[in-house]
């Protein structure tokens, strides 16, 4: 069975990355081992043999670009072969659903045992919706962001100079975002400089200075609801919960 790319990905020269893939057709088996088809290996790309679960939303395919040229893998391109697994002698921990549950679920105050079991069952059923690593950034498919600049000509700004240490950090962050499918290489007429912002924890966040773009963007008129109406709608409610998208800014498509 063929595995195809879920989105366009750029593999940098002499580097490896994870590509999110999906089965080309419905699979009648759950577990498979990935291998590389001949047409992929001939282009200087190697695919690691990996045990994967086809019931997951996406199949992680680890690839290696072994020469000095980057490679663009288009959406829908064949990236691997999936051979069915006949038997798993030792079930690896990463496939154990119970191990994915956070330890906080063992101490849910205010819930009886039946309610705790219900919470565990619900999270196990929907655990593919939760991020389990720093690189686990999903994609929100509920809306697409549109930047309306009318007929304004594209804005082009030159990159700002960075200290050598900051430059290396910027290159690392860019590679990380490319590997995770957040950004991709382009050659469009728009160009805006990046800015490195240090967060409270000491880590660095890569941002883009969009002030010039904001000046020419036609703003949407989105009025927030009256707070009194919102509070009235909560009348009689007893249970409240919140969900937060991981790196939500990078999840909304443009």
pLDDT in tens, 174-222: 998 888 888 888 888 999 999 999 988 888 989 999 999 999 999 888 8
Per-chain mean pLDDT for the chain: 81
Q: Both 142 and 54 in a single domain?
A: no
- Counting the structural domains of the chain, the total is 2
Q: What is the mean pLDDT of the segment spanning 94-119?
A: 67
* 155 SS3 class: coil
56: domain CATH number is 2.70.40.10
Length of the chain: 254
- Do the domain assignments include residue 109? no
27, 81, 92, 145 from 89: Cα distances, Å: 21, 22, 9, 47
Q: Both 161 and 246 in a single domain?
A: yes
Structural domain including 150 reads 137-220+242-253
Q: Both 150 and 214 in a single domain?
A: yes
pLDDT grade, residue 20 (50/70/90)? confident
- Do the domain assignments include residue 8? yes
165: domain CATH number is 3.10.10.10
Q: Both 76 and 142 in a single domain?
A: no
Q: Both 47 and 144 in a single domain?
A: no
Lowest mean pLDDT among 43-57, 181-195, 221-235: 43-57
Q: Name the token pair of 152.
A: 């304004």
Of 152 and 125, the structure prediction assigns the larger pLDDT to 152
Decide if 26 contacts 46 (C-beta within 8 A). no
Can you tell me the distance from the alpha carbon of 84 to that of 1, in angstroms, rounded to the nearest whole number?
A: 9
92 has pLDDT over 60: no
- Do the domain assignments include residue 213? yes
Q: Model-level pTM?
A: 0.51
What is the maximal distance between C-alpha atoms in the chain?
A: 64
């Amino acid at each position: 069975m063929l595995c195809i790319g879920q989105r366009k990905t750029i593999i940098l020269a002499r580097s490896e990355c994870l590509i999110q893939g999906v089965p080309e057709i419905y699979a009648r088996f759950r577990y498979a081992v990935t291998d590389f088809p001949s047409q992929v290996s001939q282009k200087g790309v190697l695919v690691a043999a990996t045990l994967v679960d086809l019931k997951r939303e996406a199949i992680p395919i680890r690839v290696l670009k072994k020469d000095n040229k980057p490679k663009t893998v288009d959406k829908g391109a064949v990236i691997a072969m999936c051979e069915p697994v006949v038997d798993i002698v030792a079930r690896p921990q990463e496939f154990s659903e119970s191990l994915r549950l956070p330890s906080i679920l063992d101490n849910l105050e205010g819930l009886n045992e039946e309610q705790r079991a219900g919470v565990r069952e619900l999270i196990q059923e929907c655990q593919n919706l939760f991020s389990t690593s720093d690189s686990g950034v999903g994609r929100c498919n509920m809306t697409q962001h549109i930047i309306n600049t009318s007929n304004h000509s594209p804005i082009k700004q030159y990159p700002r100079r960075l200290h050598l240490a900051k430059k290396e950090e910027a290159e690392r962050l860019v590679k990380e975002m490319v590997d995770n499918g957040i950004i991709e290489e382009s050659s469009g007429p728009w160009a805006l400089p990046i800015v490195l912002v240090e967060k409270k924890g000491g880590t660095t966040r890569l941002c883009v200075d969009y002030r010039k773009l904001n000046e020419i963007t036609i703003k949407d008129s989105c009025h927030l609801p009256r707070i009194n109406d919102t509070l009235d709608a909560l009348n009689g409610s007893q249970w409240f919960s919140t969900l937060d998208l991981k790196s939500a800014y990078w999840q909304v498509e443009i």
